[in-house]
Structure formats: structure tokens, C-alpha cells
Amino acid sequence: MASVAETSDSGFKADVLEVKELVLVDFFAPWCGPCKQVAPLIEEMAKEFTNVKFVKLNTDENPHTAQSYRISGIPTLILFKDGQPVKVEVGALNRDGLRELIKSGLN
């Protein structure tokens, strides 16, 4: 059963940048309403796309990584491929939008 792992400023390099597979990073904060809306959909996609790694980063607790990717609105979803950001979406996506985002990174 796939799940969404939580990462931190100190773990981001190993958890995201050094991973060869596609990684979806959810930049969120616990107080953010849209973040709470998208979180269960990301959990659902983690079960559907077992060839993709799903990671979340709390921007309140890990400001350095959020700043380095210029995160100004949350949720922000970034797809990484071979350690490089390839697609960015700001704001909550619905199920279909999230699925399309992930599929776009697999092509």
C-alpha cells in the first residue's frame, strides 16, 4: 500500500532530488484549507500511481526548501524528474486535474 511520505529541509535532497523516479511534492501547511482538500486526493493517487513517489513538505516547519523553490502560495505541487522540477501547479487541483498532472510527468 503506497502512502505519502513527509520530508523536511534536511531530508529533501535524499527524498526528492536524488530519486530517479518521478516525485510529486506537495508543499502545504496544516492550517491551509485547500491543502486539506487536496491531501486525500494525493493519498488516493499514491495508491493508483505506484511508479511515482509522493512526498509532502510542511512549509511552516521547513521554510528553507519552500523559499528555494519560491513557494508563495499553497498548496503548490511540483513534479520532479531526475531531481529536477518539471511541472508546477499552484492551488488545489481536483481528482482529474491531479491525475493529469501526474500523467504529464510520466510521458
Q: Give me the active site residues, please.
A: 32, 35
Sign of CA dihedral 64, 84, 40, 47: negative
Q: Which of 55, 90, 66, 60 is nearest to 76 (CA)?
A: 90
Alpha-carbon distance 26 to 38, whole Å? 9
